[in-house]
Structures are given as structure tokens and as C-alpha cells.
Amino acid sequence: MRILAICGSLQAKSGNLALLQTAAASAPEGVDVVIFDGLRDLPLFNPDVEASGPPPAVQAWRAALDESDAVLIASPEYGHSLTGVLKNGIDWVIGSGELNLKVVAMTAAVPDNRRGRLGLQALAVTLDAVDAVIVWGEPIARGPDFEGEVAELVRALVDRARKR
């Protein structure tokens, strides 16, 4: 099984990237968690660009999604919403269908689990446009239970993806 892990932050030392790295380390045998770092390379979504064919970065993004059995998104909340780079990435695949009906777990690495919820709600609304099957939508607080909660998230995602 292949899980595509997507970080909604472009920050080099992002807590959300660290969460995805923890998820990759905790994946059960036979499950590959592949971290996709290409959101930063996507041009701003513009349907006119499609007229001459999608740019290479868009092709790579679509192929990575298409080749995955499930998706794990870890993203901070910016301005009570999802990040612009993540929204842009999703916009590039709404019409082409690579995210349609995908099993998706989404979370945010936060200092306190009361934070990040508005960003995850906004992400859920956006993923509704592709009828994503959301199996996790809670933030995970950095602290003593962090690794265990990340492992639980991965198990939930794998279990749901195997039922498809």
C-alpha cells in the first residue's frame, strides 16, 4: 500500500513535516508513506494553462496522487483556513480527478489540540469538492503522546484504505 503524505507548510522545519516523517517511521510493514514535496513547484491554478497541457509540476502532482492508495495531509492553520499552497494543489486536481473518492486522513501538528481545527474544517470543505473519504480530521498536539497518536492515525488510514 502506498500513502501519499502531503505537508501544507513550505517551512523547512515544519512541525507538520515532522509529523509526516513520524507517520512514515510508524507505518506497518507493507505500507510505504511517501512524502510529496512538490506543492511548492506548482504554478498558481489557472485553467488557461491547461489549454496547452499541464506543466511538469502539475503532471508530477497528479501522478503522485493517482499512484497512491490513500492520502495523509498534515497542515497548519493559516488565518483560520487551510494554507494557500495546499488549496492551490487541490485546485489543480478538482477537474482532473486524482483525488476523487480517495481515502484521506488530515491533521495538524499543534502545540495544543484546541488549535488547528478551523484549518481542518476548511480543508474538509475543500475536499468535499472531490468526494474524499475522510477518516481522520483531528489535530495532534506535540507532547508525550504525539508519536502514539500519529501511529493511531496511520493505522486508521491504512485500515480504511484496505476496505476499499
Q: How far is CA 105 from the centre of its chain?
A: 7
- Rounded to 10 deg, the angle between the 84-94 and 117-127 helix axes is 10
| Residue 85: predicted pLDDT | 98
Give the HSE-up count for residue 28: Cα atoms under 13 Å, Cβ half-sphere: 10
pLDDT computed for residue 154 by the predictor: 98
**Confidence at residue 115, expressed as pLDDT on a 0 to 100 scale:** 87
User: What is the per-residue pLDDT for 27?
Assistant: 97
Residue 88 contacts residue 44 (beta carbons within 8 Å): yes
Rg (CA), the chain: 15
Q: What is the SS3 assignment for 73-92?
A: EECCCECCECCHHHHHHHHH
Q: What letter would DSSP give residue 118?
A: H
Which pLDDT belongs to residue 164? 81
Q: What is the homologous superfamily of the domain 2-162 according to CATH?
A: Flavodoxin domain (3.40.50.360)
Which amino acid would we find at residue 157?
L
pLDDT for residue 71? 98
Distance CA 158, CA 135 (A): 10
Q: What is the pLDDT of residue 77?
A: 94
pLDDT score for 50: 86
Weakly modelled stretches of the chain, pLDDT under 70: none
- Every domain of the chain and the residues it spans: 2-162
